Every structure is written in structure tokens, then in C-alpha cells.
Structure 1
Amino acid sequence: MPSGSALEAVRARRSWSKVTDEAPTHGELLTLVAAAGRVADHSSLQPWRLIELRGSDRERLGRAIAKAQGDKSPSTKPLRAPLLIAVVASYKKSDKVPRWEQETVASGVAHVLSLLLDEAGWGVIWRTGGYTRAKAVAKAHGLDKNEQLLGWLYVGGKPPRERLGRRKAVEARKLVSRMPTSKKD
């Protein structure tokens, strides 16, 4: 198999819950987003957008999460990585492409972007939570009424590790089947 293949990148991918304070630059991020945006997209609607959160943006998000959860102290969760990328489904009017399909495009962009970031040497984890649907959090992100937050990619440097844990293998045979036959066929 050729070095740098998509299969190799997917097999090597893992979530990094702890990262260092380094992060890709805005320019590096744009290059990867341009590639990630090539996911399958029925009618080329581009029903997604990303919001880059760095520095004090993460503190503002912490306050919004606290408000959404009724806490007095700001959440420190957004401070776990130097770069957060909010993944937003930005639904477009379409007679051909239903809302659920548009959301899968936004999810696809986020997943491909996480693979590209990982392959570029960055630690990434996709975080969600009940507060992704909270009004205070949507307001902090400046979401329009036709948009929905799907979570954040937390991005930073990969810390040195002595041993990487192995991910459980996917048993493809249990997850792939043929279409059932019908007695009428």
C-alpha cells in the first residue's frame, strides 16, 4: 500500500483527549478545510460552515456553556485545546436535498477535516454535549435560525507518548450484509 494513502490515514486515526498548546495556523487550517470541503455534497449546497475559536473566544464559549447549564462559574472545557473548530450545519432551502442529508455533509466535512489534521500531525477530538443545542451557545457562535451546532473539533499538538493504546478492531463482517430477499422476488 502506498505511503500516505487514505486507508493508512484512517487506520492510524485516533482521538486525542489531551493536547499541547500548539495549533495549526489560520493559513494551515484553510488549506485543510479546502480539501475537507470536497466531501460528497448533493447539489453542491455546501450546507456547512466552521467557526475558528482561539484565545478569548474559548473563554466566551466557557461562559455560554455555563449559562446553558445554569452554572455560576465558566466552563473550563473549551480551554482544553488551543484551537476549537465549531462545526455548523447551515441548512439551505432545497426541494431535492432534505435537512438530514445536509447535516450528513456537515458531519462529513468535520470527519474528513479531523483525519487531515491528524495526518498533518495535530491531535484532534470531536466533542459534543447537550449544550450544543442551547440558545446561549448558539448565540455565542452567532448562529442563524437555519443553523445548528454539531460540536467542536478540539485541536492541538500531539503530546509525546511512550505507548499508544490500540483501538478495538472493527468487525466488518458483523456490520456488512446483503439486502434481504423477499418471497415475492
Structure 2
Amino acid sequence: MSVADAATRRRSTSKVTAEAPSHDELLEFVQAAATVADHSELHPWRLLEIRGDDRLVVGRALAEASGAEGHAADKLTEKALRAPLMIAIVLSPVESRKVPEWEQESVASGVAHLLSLVLDDAGWGVMWRTGLWTRSPGVQAAHGLRDGEKLLGWLYVGGRRDDREAKPRTLVDPSRFLSTLS
């Protein structure tokens, strides 16, 4: 299968089973994703592997950041349990006079997207989730972010279910997005 085939076949998987790649498998997938274009090879990103009850730490931080209380807070906390593995994508900018932070954030986003493709290609269900509270102080603190770091979101990863959405991906009309200077 070509890279183009893998890209057009990939679909976000919102419902997954309790299986997830092992730590060692994940290391291989991250190594592949780390080949994304990276001006000056700054590697301005890091990933956090979140499993088990650590997912509840994230869920509670999200609930607190949202201001939800009672049953609403519980429901928001439980959303962190939708997959057995969460991979937090963190922008960890590097001081550079040549590479601005926005470009470094693009690299971190590229790693996340390529990692989602690699995981999908390996047979795992993946969904990239973001939200209003990724940049809230409490959510960032729950992830142990250092000064200057920013949370970009999470890849939720688990086993694919047999009832995975079989609807084909809707492709864009490329002529709407590709033009020339003249």
C-alpha cells in the first residue's frame, strides 16, 4: 500500500477496544513519526504515554478546567477513559533565531499526524482529540508541562472494533485548494 493509499484510507476511530500497543511497540511507532520534516532538527515536541488511572488525572483536570460540577464533572472525567492509551502531544519549543515557534508547533503537529497514520496503518484505532481546555493552567499542570510548553491535544488509541465505521472517506476537490501565483 502506498502512503497516499494509507492517507486516504485513514479514518478517525471514536470507539475502540481495551487493547492498545505495548510501550515497546509505541517506541517503534514514535521513531517512525519522528521522521517528519523538522527545520534544523530541533525536535520541538515530546509525547506523554498515559495509561490506566493516569487517564483519570487528565479527565479530572479537564472537568475542573471546564467548571463542571457533580454528574457533569463525572461525565467529563470519564471521557478520558474512552481509550486504553492516550498520547499527549506537547509542543516543547527550542530557542532558535532561525526557526520561529509557529514553525516548531507545525513540526509537533506533524509528528502527531504522522503518528496517527503509523498507528492506523499498524491496525490500531486512533482519534486525535483537542479541546478548549488544552491550554488551561490546570490541564497543563496535570501533564507536568514545563515553562513555555503547550499541550496540543491527545491521540486516543485502542484496538479497532469489528463495527468500525466502514463509510468511505469523503475526499476534497483538490482544485479548490491548489492554485498558482498567476
Same fold (TM over 0.5): yes
Structure 2: which 5+ runs fail to align?
none
Cα shift readout 1:105-137 (whole Å, capped 9, x = no counterpart)? 000000000000000000000000001011110
Q: C-alpha separation between the residues in 1 aligned to 2:104 and 2:170? A: 30
The higher relative CO (CA closer than 8 Å, separation ≥ 6) is in: 2
The one-letter amino acid of 1:142's match is G
Partner of 2:38: 41
Cα shift readout 1:46-74 (whole Å, capped 9, x = no counterpart)? 00000000001101111111111112334
Per the alignment, in what secondary structure is the counterpart of residue 51 of structure 1?
Answer: strand
Structure 1: which 5+ runs fail to align?
181-185
Q: C-alpha separation between the residues in 1 aligned to 2:168 and 2:138? A: 38
Counterpart check, 1:58 vs 2:58 = no
Per the alignment, in what secondary structure is the counterpart of residue 179 of structure 2?
Answer: coil
Q: Tell me which of 170, 174, 177 is aligned to 1:175.
A: 177
User: Does the CA contact (< 8 Å) of 2:12 and 2:127 recur in 1?
Assistant: yes
Residues paired across the two proteins, number: 177
The one-letter amino acid of 2:136's match is A
Q: C-alpha separation between the residues in 2 aligned to 1:56 and 1:71? A: 20
Counterpart check, 1:84 vs 2:86 = yes
Partner of 1:19: 16
Give 1 or 2 for the bigger CA radius of gyration: 1
Report the CA distance shift for 1:163/1:129 in structure 2 as closer, same or farther (over 3 A): closer
Q: C-alpha separation between the residues in 1 aligned to 2:140 and 2:165? A: 39
Per the alignment, in what secondary structure is the counterpart of residue 154 of structure 1?
Answer: strand
Cα shift readout 1:128-170 (whole Å, capped 9, x = no counterpart)? 0001011110000000111000000000001002760122121
User: Does the CA contact (< 8 Å) of 2:48 and 2:88 recur in 1?
Assistant: yes
Counterpart check, 1:110 vs 2:107 = no
Per the alignment, in what secondary structure is the counterpart of residue 53 of structure 1?
Answer: strand
Q: TM-score, normalised by structure 2?
A: 0.94
Instruction: Report the alpha carbon displacement of residue 101 of structure 1 after superposing the two structures with TM.
Output: 0.0
Per the alignment, in what secondary structure is the counterpart of residue 130 of structure 1?
Answer: coil
Structure 1's consecutive aligned runs of 4 or more residues displaced over 3 angstroms after TM superposition are none
Per the alignment, in what secondary structure is the counterpart of residue 33 of structure 1?
Answer: helix
